[in-house]
A and B are shown apart, each in its own frame.
Chain A
Amino acid sequence: MERRTIFPGIALPMLLVLPQLLLTVVFFLWPAGQAIWSSMTRADPFGIRTQFVGLENFADLFSDPLYVDSIGRTVVFCAAVTALSMGLALLLAVYADREIRGRGFYRILLIWPYAVAPAVSAVLWILLLHPQIGLVGRWLNRAGVQWNYKLDGTQAMLVVIVASAWKQVSYNFIFLLAGLQSIPRAVIEAARMDGAKGWFRFRTVVLPLLMPTVFFLLVVNLVYSAFDTFGTIQALTQGGPGKATETLVVKVYRDGVVNLDIGSSAAQSVVLMLGVIVLTVLQFRFLGRKVAE
């Protein structure tokens, strides 16, 4: 879509768009180009010379069982976080859409966690689940469950999933509720008149109309769980115990910033970039112009 009425001038608009372009080129395009370049080079052990090695870093990456494991782990993690936070949000949105007393009150109490930082939500969950001091963690141990997410990999995964999903419920709730409210009452009434009840009405009338919102959220949640949960995981487990909660982003941080393996870290960055590009294209193809930070 384009505007019909416009202003004349060439220098002014170029000047106006310049700051944004400058920042984009310096801090986004240039580093991304660097990542692609260094993903195809390798430094000798003393860091004196670098040589071009083509796709060798990628070949190494995908033949490294640790990396393949990390991909699998990330997929499980993202799927679990997305399913949990969207499922819970849908359930709450359906009830909040009913005409009940105090709905404004409920709504605000369900929306505010949007503002909680991922790393801070991790702290809240530590206080609940810590094996020695946590409110729930202590209780689990007393009840005879061997609860210690600092030693048990499966439990650690469970904890990072729960903490990550908890924080994302409100975002999904806001969109699902808006989606439900935009369904014309007349459609619901018509279905009711035709005798469609409860779950059946929801499944055959409401859910199909809600599908665009659900698809949009699916992509947003995958991006969130893949990228924005770094703080949550870092605060809760640092990717451990061992590598039990090392998702791709945690791994790229560990390999690049902590272990200074530039070639491999760059190759991992490029793989992640491709992942984001695929998700963004999906989002725009299926949903028109929907964008989220």
Chain B
Amino acid sequence: MNGRIDWPAHVMLGLGVLLFILPIWLVLAGATLDPAAIARGELSLVPRLDGWGVYAAVLAEGAPGAQPVGRMLLVSAGMALAIAAGKIVISILSAYAVTFFRFPFRMTAFWTIFITLMLPVEVRIMPTYSVMSDLSLINTFPGLTVPLIASATATLLFRQTFLAVPDELVEAARMDGAGPLRFLKDILIPVSAANLAALFVILFVYGWNQYLWPLLVATNPRLDTIVIGIVKMIGTETQTEWNRVMATAVLALLPPVAVVVLMQRWFVKGLTEGEK
């Protein structure tokens, strides 16, 4: 750092940034264009300044083949929040149980949870569907969220954090007469706040971006998430209103990207350190 500019680095990183920004700029600008012009092959990177009304239009009406975008955003937000919160809660509880207690079948419980790592939805599509229909969870909001709440990743992460809590802290809490639940609520959760924040980002993005699961268990259009909805919009090849598709893409991107950008510091730290 001696005042000289590292041109090769700036050029390479600039190109990298361009590679990611260009498609986003394209949808931002494209959303404001006239749909007939886009269909004629006149999609361009120059926005039409009076075309911003498209956002209000898709939020309220959607596009051919899909629900209003405002509604789908709500479903997505509900799903992402329910999954993130649910995963965090039940993972804290189970990690706390396996690290701070000794009980029969403790390791059996731990390995049972661990095994879920090896069973993503994609490898058990049909039988999971039949379990869902036996429990009448098809086309319900709990069906969309509850089965995705089991989480080996979050349990392992919290276990790691809890193992690193100094013995002195636990001793001190016990001397002060804190019972196990009090200790969990007043000491353990506050000291794990940074991990919790990082995990929230990862799980929110995970929940928001689900595609196969909602496709499988929610055929009722009223439960369409924004990700499902946008794929439906482009599925109607002949009458696609591309400006609306692009506005929807922007709205589908915005919430998870905002969460990542705003919580960047915790997220990066939690992601890379949590893996150890």
- Which residues from chain A sit less than 8 Å from chain B, CB to CB? 1, 3-7, 9-10, 12-14, 16-17, 19-21, 23-35, 38, 88, 91-92, 95-96, 98-101, 106, 108-120, 122-128, 132-135, 138, 166, 169-170, 174-175, 178, 216, 227, 230-231, 234-235, 249, 252-253, 256-257, 262, 265-266, 269, 272-273, 275-277, 280, 288-293
Contact = CB atoms under 8 A, between A and B. Distances in A.
B68 interface: no
A133 B41 contact: yes
A93 to B, nearest CB: 10
A280 B124 contact: no
Interface in B131-179: 131, 135, 146-147, 149-153, 155-157, 160, 162-163, 167, 170-171, 174
A92 B115 CA distance: 35
Q: Classify the interface of chain B: helix, strand, loop or mixed.
A: helix
A91 B12 contact: yes
Contact of A124 (B27, B113, B153, B227): B27
Given A133-B43, A266-B126, A10 B103 contact: yes
B23 A38 contact: no
A117 B256 contact: yes
A280 B122 CA distance: 15
Contacts of A23: 90, 146-147, 149-150
Interface size class of B (residues with CB under 8 A): 35 or more
| Residue from A21, A120, A276 having most chain B Cβ neighbours under 10 A | A120
B150 A117 contact: no
Given A5-B170, A123-B245, A113 B20 contact: yes
A133 B1 CA distance: 46
| Residue from A28, A116, A128 having most chain B Cβ neighbours under 10 A | A28
| Residue from A19, A92, A291 having most chain B Cβ neighbours under 10 A | A291
B2 to A, nearest CB: 10
Q: Top 5 A-B pairs ranked by shortest CB distance? A: A231-B211, A34-B127, A13-B101, A117-B209, A31-B127
Interface of B: 1, 5-6, 8-10, 12-13, 16-17, 19-21, 23-24, 26-27, 30, 38-39, 41, 43-45, 90-91, 93-94, 96-104, 106, 109, 112-113, 115-120, 122-131, 135, 146-147, 149-153, 155-157, 160, 162-163, 167, 170-171, 174, 180-181, 183, 202-203, 205-206, 208-209, 211-212, 215-216, 227, 230-231, 234, 242, 245-246, 249, 252-253, 256-257, 259-261, 264, 268, 271-272, 275-276
B125 A269 contact: yes
Contacts of A34: 124, 127, 130-131
B268 to A, nearest CB: 6
A122 B252 CA distance: 13
Contacts of B181: 12
